[in-house]
Amino acid sequence: MSFVLKQTKGDKAADTVIYTSLALFALLTLFPLYYVVIVSVTPYIEVMKNGGFVIWPEHFTLQAYKEIFGSARIPQALKITVFITIVGTALNLVVTTLLAYPLSKRSVPGRNFILMAIVFTMIFSGGIIPLYIMVRSLGLYDSVWALVIPGMVSTFNLLIIKTYFENLPAEVEEAAKVDGCGDLSTLFRIVLPLSAPIMATIGLFYGVTHWNEYFKGIFYISDKTLMPMQVVLRNMIQSPNVSTELSVNSLALDALPPETIKMAVVVVATLPLLIIYPFLQKYFVKGALLGSVKG
């Protein structure tokens, strides 16, 4: 026997208010992205006619995208950003996992001291200047590896993975060891396949951090050919002469308003994450919950 709860007029009115508020909030959230995309495909005449504010242009143009991809600066910056995102995320996951797995075992000698030392870095830091000196002394300055190696392990991500490993059934690992698996074999053949949600979550954390890399690019990179996308975007937004930042001399580029070029670069810098995130969203939510609760 099933029961159906009937909504009262008050419940329906409350639902209407809630859904209307959520819809308005979604519109307010999406409008900046919509505006950036629209301005990036709006011809110069319409931008000037509307005072720089365009909701829906009468004509569309992809000239801004043709110009930025025809330059050497944006494709090179994209290559650097894609490299540090893929290689950096892979190295982050490998090193973080290899450190988190033994720390999830209470029988490891010195485990508590190592954990305390790692957590200590979340509270206290040596500062920017010592880190800069260390990067220069290691020969990483003006190298793409300066964007990858410093900060190889995030303490926050390490603790999440460690907690997730601790929550896995101990019987599974014991059975693997009875079958003759060593520690590394157990990790790669048993534990990691069971940890796909948390690996996807932490991979997303690391990947987004690398894709939005700005701080290291400002401090450790002076060679323009090694600057990541976010640094190039920042330089373009601050520069009054877009063609100089793109290292091109094009009459078509000069005919485009600077705002259109800048908005197109913003779209190029943002679009890859917007495409990838929906495919990882379910792992992101599940992995964050499982890795943050002990019990």
- Is residue 70, in this structure, part of any structural domain at all? yes
pLDDT tens digits for range 173-218: 888 888 777 888 888 888 888 888 888 888 888 998 999 888 898 9
Residue 123 confidence (pLDDT):
83
* Structural domain total, the chain: 1
CATH number of the domain where residue 135 is located: 1.10.3720.10
- Is residue 1, in this structure, part of any structural domain at all? no
Instruction: Give pTM, 2 decimals.
Output: 0.80
Q: Where in the sequence is the domain holding 162, given as residue range(s)? A: 64-295
**Does position 81 have pLDDT exceeding 80, yes or no?**
yes
- Is residue 229, in this structure, part of any structural domain at all? yes
pLDDT tens digits for range 61-72: 787 888 788 777
Query: Of 27-41, 61-75, 97-111, 270-284, where does mean pLDDT reach its minimum?
Result: 270-284
- Is residue 208, in this structure, part of any structural domain at all? yes
Neighbours of 34 (CB within 10 A): 12
Residue 295 confidence (pLDDT):
44
- Is residue 14, in this structure, part of any structural domain at all? no
- Is residue 54, in this structure, part of any structural domain at all? no
- Is residue 285, in this structure, part of any structural domain at all? yes
Residue 97 confidence (pLDDT):
94
- Is residue 17, in this structure, part of any structural domain at all? no
**Does position 116 have pLDDT exceeding 80, yes or no?**
yes
